Each structure stands twice: as C-alpha cells, then as structure tokens.
Amino acid sequence: MEHSPQVTAELEKALQAMEFTDKDRAAVAMARRLAVEMDMKLGNGRLTSSKLLEVLVELGMTPKSRAAIAAKSKEQDQNVGNSKLDELRARRAARSHGT
C-alpha cells in the first residue's frame, strides 16, 4: 500500500516545536505510529484518528490542551506565596461581598 506521509509529516513538524522528557517517549512513539497508520489508511480511520487525538491531548499538542496547561500554570503562579491564612481571608472577603 502506498504511503502518503501527510499526517506523519505534519506530526513531525509539531513534535519538533515541542519539548518532551524521557517520560513522554512512549506517547510520542504511539503518536508517530498512529500517524503512519492514518497516512497508509490502515484499519479504521475514525478510530485511529480518535486515538491520535487522545495522544496529542496527553502530550499537550492541541489548542485546547495548551490553553488548559497555560490556565493551570497561571493559577499556580497566582497562588505562589499565598499562605493558607491568605486563602481563608480571600474566601471570607468574597463571601462578605456576595461573590
């Protein structure tokens, strides 16, 4: 069967733009394998594309997953330096203002 590497080529470009650790190796390998399967039109295309999308989400390679990571990072940055007492005071102030 002819291999048209459209998905594989785009995945490789996206992978080059990301930073991964050794812990991500298996997921990266799985993404590559699924991309090849899609390009070669092996198996169930919808199932393969769904699996690839799941792997991309886990790797933080979709717009939605990157936005979630950025939001979580921003929240953590805002909470740095806040003591438990500060958090309690903020919640109490919010309640007293009806929010």
The total number of structural domains in the chain stands at: 2
Q: What pLDDT, on a 0 to 100 scale, did the predictor assign at position 77?
A: 66
Does 57 share its domain with 75?
Answer: no
Contacts 24+ apart (CB under 8 A), 22-27: 24/59, 27/55, 27/58, 27/59
Does 70 share its domain with 46?
Answer: no
Element (DSSP H or E) covering residue 36: helix 25-39
Q: Please write the tens of the pLDDT for every residue from 12-31.
A: 999 999 999 999 999 999 99
Does 21 share its domain with 42?
Answer: yes
Range from 24-33, 39-48, 61-70 that averages highest in pLDDT: 24-33
Query: pTM, whole model, 2 decimals?
Result: 0.68
Given CA atoms 14, 38, 60, 67 in this order, what sign does their dihedral have?
Answer: positive
For 71, the domain range is 63-99
Does 73 share its domain with 40?
Answer: no
Q: Does residue 87 carry a pLDDT above 80?
A: no
Does 47 share its domain with 27?
Answer: yes
